[in-house]
Structure 1
Amino acid sequence: MKFQESTGTHIFNTSFGKILALKENGIIKAKSIRYASSERFKKPIPVQPSAAEIIFSEKTPVCPQNISPLLEKMIGKTNLDDFEVEESVQYLSVYRPEKFSENEKIPVIVWIHGGSYEIGCGDLSTADPTDWVKEQNVIIVTVSYRLGIFGFLGGTQERPANLGLFDIIEALKWIKNYISDFGGDAENITLFGQSSGGDAIAHLMISEGVENLFKRVIIHSAPLGLRQNRQKMSAEFLKNTGHFNGETDTFEIIETYKKDPPSFIKYGLKAAMPFGTQYGLPPLCNENEVEGKWRENAGKIDVLIGMNDEETAFYLRTSEMMNTYLPKRLVDKAVRSTTEIIYGKPAKDFAENYAEAGGNVYLFRIHPRLTENYFMGAHAIDLPFIFGNESAWKNAGILNNIPWKYIDENGKKLRKIWTDFAQSGKISDHSERPDILDLRKI
């Protein structure tokens, strides 16, 4: 059976329930499906199948968070009217091509958003996968999970750690169980994440309870250089926010937790990302076991890992203080050195160690080669190339002086290569490479 491209609604009759979806722009979107629920500082409980019709909400659910002025300047303004703030934010959305044969099983890519484990959600217009789904005949599932204090700060019985990671694991279980009802191949699932989303995926690879939930991973711009020796910082931050409990008003938490953030002087670059995964607490192993766990999985999970060429330009070239008091050459040097410390060397080390253990791994760098743009290879500049959606990026400062034609032409080639990897775990040497991409098998 073939669906005609049109605008309207569609019902997915799944073993989870009847799910109402939207048909538009050549794809079918089943949005804001609740996969689990939770109470504050408690582990998620999976939602059970229901005979009731599942209807998408008008507003996008989002975990409580502070708006980032830097993101608003570099990416675009956030229209708060489009979102519904909710602590139990375990929702996912399924994007599938409208033109589709019933007996077809197509690869599945699961998007894990970034945002320093503190901001964002699965369904932002800047990461709308419509172009990718329509072009490449894939299913993309976007996942929202708890953030900040609600998801990535803990360490006591009352406030467990890694709750956001547990949320994502529940989402992956849901996808494994039900994605075939949407036409997806439950045996061919690839995780794709950027920034802290990529970091989360690297840690999902070694988490308890994820066996057979995914086959491949695509890791963009993961700040793996900030992952080590965080225990003291996390413990101090937890203590400073220890007065928050199950009864504390949500907005009081959001407005006040930043009064006692970790100190840069005391903890260095790690303080730039105060929330994160915590070793030695479920579902993660101890820190000294991490590399060994990754090596153990080398034969099981295909990896595509990489970064943008000048990641920290996003932060340093927008710093008024640095650009006022330092000459450009020193700012450029700081961008280069911090990019390599936080992103470059850790990604290269990960890839080489994984390959040495027998893993199938590719390493990439993305670098828009337009000198008129001050943020050529900055953090997040990969997102418009991989997702497209021109209207969502039209006011993004990060794309200053980059013509959309350049983004579109390179983006289509990049999406094709990434889809080939998701399909087979391989990237042909004969694939047409976008100008912005340096890629090699390790």
Structure 2
Amino acid sequence: MSTNHPLHNHTFETSFGKILAFKENGVIKAKSIRYAQSERFKKPIPLESAENFISDKTPVCPQKISPLLERLIGKTDIEKFQPEESTQFLTITRPENLVEENLPVIVWIHGGSYEIGCGDLPTSDPSVWVKEQNIIVVSVSYRLGLFGFLGGNDERPANLGLFDIIEALKWIKKYINDFGGNPENITLFGQSSGGDAIAHLLISEGVDNLFKRVIIQSAPLGFRLKREKMYTELFSQTDFLKDDTDVLKMVDSYQNFLPSSFKYGLKAAMPFCLKYGHEPLPQENETLKKWKDNASKIDVLIGFNEDETSFYVKTAQEGLYTYLHNSVLNRIVKITTKSIYGKPAEIFAENYASGGGNIHLYKIKLTLKKHFIGASHCFDLPLIFANKDAWKDAKLLKDVPWEYIFENGKKLRAVWAEFARNGKILQADERPDILEIRKI
């Protein structure tokens, strides 16, 4: 159990043990529940009973702050976080007053290029959504970067972060009923690399019956193929760090070996990733067939934002792009969004549908006129996680009124929650104007 909030005023009596929680703004939160434990470069071992995380801070996998992400979303208050190499924690948010038992459960898998972030951030606080839609949201943290997504031999296995997520799903399946959730109605929901991880859970070993539906937002599926050479190079170059006792030094050191985008193209923007041909994943050339074969088991909602790459293209290198006309920038955004997100999502959806899967493909757009950034990567997050204070400094939302975000978001939250309840999409008149969606 967690003691990382001074105002614990609720206790869940569960078969896992006593879990301390607190009531706040109409929801109950049980924060930083440890679901497993791991040694470095070892698979996670599930916990049999609740264990204290003695800290008033949120545990995060050791990582380096991304200046680009801070401009996109807002400053990170590092004083509120504590580096923890064994990062197997989850937070449960449910309505304070349970009108009914067996609520739909949505499991949030955060993004961050498999390198940064954690499940429990203010920018992904699900309180508003939980209260509005009478659902339970479980936010999962897992190992990242060197610790979770760079491996290739027995000494440093691949896909350890994915094994963490699978262990979290087993915990949720086993215990969520004690919190009022329905273990037979679990939907995975992830954005960016979190969406990529979920897409690959559909073809992973050892996940049967752990979830019923998935929502895959802005997954960079265009980066998933032909990564072996880049991955192997980073793996071998960082081998000297594997026994270092200073985790922050490890994180600082690997930066020197990150692949050059000139050498490996756009995929170098995400150096850490899942590794095919290593458990629990199939070989790369088997993936499409596996998705097709498994399609009848799981409902899928997959999509992207209309201008995914625009924040990076239009603001990341402002000095360089000052000289480029906006029409040129828009063309670059259109081409890169299509190649990294749009076309791969369409291929995925059509392949999945051909296997008999229930799959919907969507696009989120910004309907404000003459907006420079548009619906860039992460634009979907404030729509779902309507925490106004957390998003107030986000450059991503510059010149976008919060009322626009909240009202469109309220309808989007309803669409996503309805899908989580029963795999169906709300009627057109109940959807927000920013959403285009179709069954494939």
The two structures have a TM-score, normalised by structure 2, of: 0.96
The reply to whether residue 23 of structure 1 matches residue 23 of structure 2 is yes
**1:322–1:331 CA contact under 8 A, matched in 2:** no
Which residue in the other structure is 2:387 paired with? 389
Which residue in the other structure is 2:4 paired with? none
The letter of the residue matching 2:252 is: E
Q: 2:342 and 2:320 mapped to 1: Cα distance?
A: 22
Q: Alignment partner of 1:243: what SS?
A: helix
**1:194–1:221 CA contact under 8 A, matched in 2:** yes
Which residue in the other structure is 2:274 paired with? 277
Alignment of 1:421-440 (within 5 A): 421-430=419-428, 432-440=430-438
Q: 1:21 and 1:234 mapped to 2: Cα distance?
A: 41
Q: Alignment partner of 1:175: what SS?
A: helix
Q: Alignment partner of 2:16: what SS?
A: coil
Q: Unaligned stretches of 5+ in structure 1?
A: 1-6
Q: 1:380 and 1:32 mapped to 2: Cα distance?
A: 24
The letter of the residue matching 1:290 is: T
Question: What is the deviation of 1:321?
Answer: 4.3
Which residue in the other structure is 2:127 paired with? 130
**1:373–1:399 CA contact under 8 A, matched in 2:** no
Which residue in the other structure is 1:218 paired with? 215
Change (3 A) 1:190 1:56: farther
Give the fraction of aligned pairs with identical amino acids, expressed as a percent: 62
The total of aligned residue pairs comes to: 433
**2:149–2:161 CA contact under 8 A, matched in 1:** yes
From 292, 296, 299, give the equivalent of 1:302.
Answer: 299
The letter of the residue matching 1:239 is: S
The letter of the residue matching 1:22 is: F
Question: What is the deviation of 1:8?
Answer: 5.8
Which residue in the other structure is 1:4 paired with? none
The reply to whether residue 172 of structure 1 matches residue 202 of structure 2 is no
**1:60–1:83 CA contact under 8 A, matched in 2:** yes
Q: Alignment partner of 1:197: what SS?
A: helix
Which residue in the other structure is 1:320 paired with? 318
Question: What is the deviation of 1:372?
Answer: 4.5
The reply to whether residue 11 of structure 1 matches residue 11 of structure 2 is yes
Which residue in the other structure is 1:237 paired with? 234
Question: What is the deviation of 1:437?
Answer: 0.6
Question: What is the deviation of 1:322?
Answer: 3.7
Q: 2:11 and 2:246 mapped to 1: Cα distance?
A: 38
Alignment of 1:406-421 (within 5 A): 406-421=404-419
Q: Alignment partner of 2:302: what SS?
A: strand
More deviation in 218-227 or 266-275? Answer: 266-275
Question: What is the deviation of 1:25?
Answer: 0.3
Change (3 A) 1:163 1:431: farther
Q: Alignment partner of 1:11: what SS?
A: strand
The reply to whether residue 108 of structure 1 matches residue 116 of structure 2 is no
Q: Alignment partner of 1:317: what SS?
A: helix
The letter of the residue matching 1:241 is: T
**1:34–1:91 CA contact under 8 A, matched in 2:** yes
Q: Return structure 1 stretches of 4+ with deviation > 6 angstroms.
A: none
Q: 1:281 and 1:151 mapped to 2: Cα distance?
A: 13
Alignment of 1:57-76 (within 5 A): 57-76=55-74
Change (3 A) 1:326 1:147: same
From 144, 152, 155, give the equivalent of 2:152.
Answer: 155
Q: Alignment partner of 1:239: what SS?
A: helix
Question: What is the deviation of 1:247?
Answer: 3.4
From 261, 277, 288, give the equivalent of 1:264.
Answer: 261
Change (3 A) 1:99 1:47: same
The letter of the residue matching 1:129 is: P
Q: Alignment partner of 2:430: what SS?
A: coil
More deviation in 426-435 or 166-175? Answer: 426-435
**1:33–1:56 CA contact under 8 A, matched in 2:** no
Q: 1:218 and 1:240 mapped to 2: Cα distance?
A: 35
**2:8–2:20 CA contact under 8 A, matched in 1:** no
Alignment of 1:394-409 (within 5 A): 394-409=392-407
Q: 1:428 and 1:195 mapped to 2: Cα distance?
A: 24
From 111, 121, 146, give the equivalent of 2:143.
Answer: 146
Question: What is the deviation of 1:428?
Answer: 3.4
Cα shift readout 1:241-278 (whole Å, capped 9, x = no counterpart) = 01012334211111110112112222111111000000
The letter of the residue matching 2:371 is: N
Aligned-CA RMSD value: 1.3
Which residue in the other structure is 1:329 paired with? 327
Q: Unaligned stretches of 5+ in structure 2?
A: 1-6
**2:142–2:164 CA contact under 8 A, matched in 1:** yes
The letter of the residue matching 1:220 is: Q
More deviation in 172-181 or 324-333? Answer: 324-333
Q: 1:63 and 1:328 mapped to 2: Cα distance?
A: 38
More deviation in 426-435 or 126-135? Answer: 426-435
Cα shift readout 1:13-63 (whole Å, capped 9, x = no counterpart) = 11001000000100000000000111111111111125x7x5774211011
Question: What is the deviation of 1:320?
Answer: 2.0
